[in-house]
């Protein structure tokens, strides 16, 4: 059934519109959830709990979209016989044009809070900078060594940068990128291949079997997005969804099941099932070859700063809450939402959206395709 080669997917304008809209909406949901966590009035506790839980679910959607899009990027690189190093430059350019500016913003926000609000300035130093730049935050191997020898050195605790707790997801996704790219794009499989593969597997395997924070299960969620590419390459599966079952019914029931698990408190299982809904949505839009529209361009721009928004919003919300949430809860929500979005849009306009320039410059420098 799946013997044919798996190819990358050329997403249509309509499909890209939905994917960009999902990226943007998921980032906004995470922001709204972190705002809701801090106001949570007693008379509507269950309501605010559901909003906060929506943020966790949205993180799961990020992992699904990441698995789908990065998996597609790897398959595209494989088809074009590109090297792992070329793929690494692609990922490095995309991630670090958002990461480095966001870390600077978090440093500035944390410093302002320290000066004016007397908030303790934590995890801002050379060790933390090095650890976060190398994607070693809460790295299982380092923390295991620290635990075994009862050593609380910052190098072994491997904390996140400043107050930027959302970095926990990036510290997982990066190693999923490396593991998948290395496994698919590397043809020579000598001793070095297996040694590097084992190193790249540490975080994904840890999150698969043990997990930390909310990370447990995220490896499966990510690969559920990747698995969509297998089914999108198979005409038999597509016909089941399009021909045998009314397309609208398949979308409705897959969405109903996904939301059913979400509202029952199983957001990770809901996120793992989300690819079924997304698959139902995309197989129809892949047949729509309409030209680019203003709304597709609009959502492309909104999605263009979603990564930066995700990385910087938590620090802004956390420090605003100490001064506004008790006396001005509505003002806190409005200021927190607008400040996070405006600042993320400005920062991303100068950095995150320029990742293509950095990618082409690095490939030209190292002479790789």
Extract the tokens encoding 48.
């605010």
What is the residue range of 314's domain?
Answer: 13-124+161-366
In this model, does residue 9 exceed pLDDT 90? Answer: no
Task: Identify the CA nearest to 174 among candidates 123, 119, 128, 136.
Answer: 136
Q: What are the CA-CA distances from residue 313 to residues 110, 227, 245, 303 (Å)?
A: 12, 31, 42, 15
In a domain, 144, yes or no: no
- Mean pLDDT is highest, among 188-192, 198-202, 291-295, for 198-202
* Number of domains, the chain: 1
Rounded to whole angstroms, the Cα distance separating 106 from 312 reads 6
State pLDDT tens for residues 12-62. 888 999 999 999 999 999 999 999 888 866 455 666 667 777 888 899 999
Q: What are the CA-CA distances from residue 177 to residues 26, 91, 94, 172, 281 (Å)?
A: 20, 8, 12, 9, 25
Stronger pLDDT, 108 or 217, i.e. the higher one: 108
Query: What are φ and ψ of residue 82, in 5° steps?
Result: -85, 155
Q: What is the predicted pLDDT for the residue at 204?
A: 93
Task: Please report the sign of the dihedral spanned by the C-alpha atoms of residue 54, residue 56, residue 59, residue 61.
Answer: negative
Task: Identify the CA nearest to 206 among candidates 193, 191, 219, 223.
Answer: 219
In a domain, 131, yes or no: no
Cα separation of the two ends of the chain = 33
Rounded to whole angstroms, the Cα distance separating 147 from 135 reads 20
- Lowest-confidence pick of 193-197, 240-244, 338-342, 358-362: 240-244
In a domain, 358, yes or no: yes
In a domain, 134, yes or no: no
Query: What are φ and ψ of residue 305, in 5° steps?
Result: -120, 10
Q: What are the CA-CA distances from residue 263 to residues 37, 81, 254, 281 (Å)?
A: 17, 44, 14, 21
N residues, the chain:
369
- pLDDT confidence tier of residue 266, bands split at 50, 70 and 90: confident
In a domain, 357, yes or no: yes
Rounded to whole angstroms, the Cα distance separating 360 from 369 reads 9
Stronger pLDDT, 79 or 237, i.e. the higher one: 79
Stronger pLDDT, 239 or 184, i.e. the higher one: 184
State pLDDT tens for residues 146-171. 888 888 888 898 899 999 999 999 99
Count the neighbouring beta carbons within 10 Å of the beta carbon of residue 198.
Answer: 11
Are residues 98 and 311 in contact, defined by beta-carbon separation less than 8 angstroms?
A: yes
In a domain, 325, yes or no: yes
Are residues 275 and 251 in contact, defined by beta-carbon separation less than 8 angstroms?
A: no
In a domain, 5, yes or no: no
Q: What is the predicted pLDDT for the residue at 1?
A: 37
- pLDDT confidence tier of residue 4, bands split at 50, 70 and 90: very low
In this model, does residue 245 exceed pLDDT 70? Answer: no
Extract the tokens encoding 172.
């997982």
pTM for this one?
A: 0.91
State pLDDT tens for residues 61-84. 999 999 999 999 999 999 999 999
Task: Identify the CA nearest to 129 among candidates 160, 175, 169.
Answer: 160
In a domain, 180, yes or no: yes
Q: What is the predicted pLDDT for the residue at 48?
A: 64
């Amino acid at each position: 059934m799946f013997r044919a080669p798996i190819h990358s997917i050329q997403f249509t304008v309509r499909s890209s519109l939905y994917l960009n809209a999902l990226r943007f909406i998921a980032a906004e949901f995470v922001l709204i959830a972190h705002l809701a966590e801090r106001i949570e009035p007693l008379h509507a506790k269950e309501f605010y709990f559901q909003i906060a839980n929506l943020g966790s679910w949205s993180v799961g959607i990020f992992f699904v979209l990441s698995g789908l899009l990065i998996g597609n990027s790897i398959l595209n690189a494989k088809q074009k016989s590109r090297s792992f190093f070329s793929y690494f430059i692609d990922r490095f350019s995309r991630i670090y044009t958002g990461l480095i500016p966001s870390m600077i913003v978090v440093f500035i926000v944390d410093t302002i809070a320290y000066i004016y609000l007397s908030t303790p300035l934590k995890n801002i130093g050379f060790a933390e900078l090095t650890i976060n730049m190398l994607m070693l935050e809460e790295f299982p191997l380092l923390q295991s060594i620290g635990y075994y020898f009862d050593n609380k050195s910052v190098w072994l605790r491997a904390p996140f940068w400043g107050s930027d707790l959302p970095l926990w997801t990036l510290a997982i996704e990066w190693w999923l990128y490396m593991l998948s790219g290395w496994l698919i794009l590397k043809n020579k499989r000598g001793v070095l291949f297996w040694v590097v593969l084992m190193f790249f597997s540490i975080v994904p395997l840890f999150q698969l079997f043990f997990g930390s924070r909310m990370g447990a299960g995220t490896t499966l969620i990510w690969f559920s997005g990747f698995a969509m590419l297998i089914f999108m390459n198979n005409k038999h599966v597509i016909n089941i969804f399009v021909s045998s079952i009314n397309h609208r019914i398949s979308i409705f029931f897959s969405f109903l099941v996904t939301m059913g698990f979400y509202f029952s408190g199983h957001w990770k299982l809901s996120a793992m099932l989300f690819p079924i809904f997304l698959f139902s949505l995309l197989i129809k839009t892949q047949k729509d070859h309409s030209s680019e529209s203003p709304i597709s361009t609009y959502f492309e721009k909104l999605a263009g700063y979603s990564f930066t928004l995700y990385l910087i919003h938590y620090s802004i919300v956390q420090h605003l809450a100490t001064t506004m949430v008790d006396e001005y809860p509505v003002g806190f929500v409005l200021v927190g939402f607008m400040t996070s979005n405006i600042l993320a849009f400005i920062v991303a306009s100068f950095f995150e959206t320029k990742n293509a320039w950095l990618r082409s410059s690095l490939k030209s420098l190292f002479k790789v395709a």
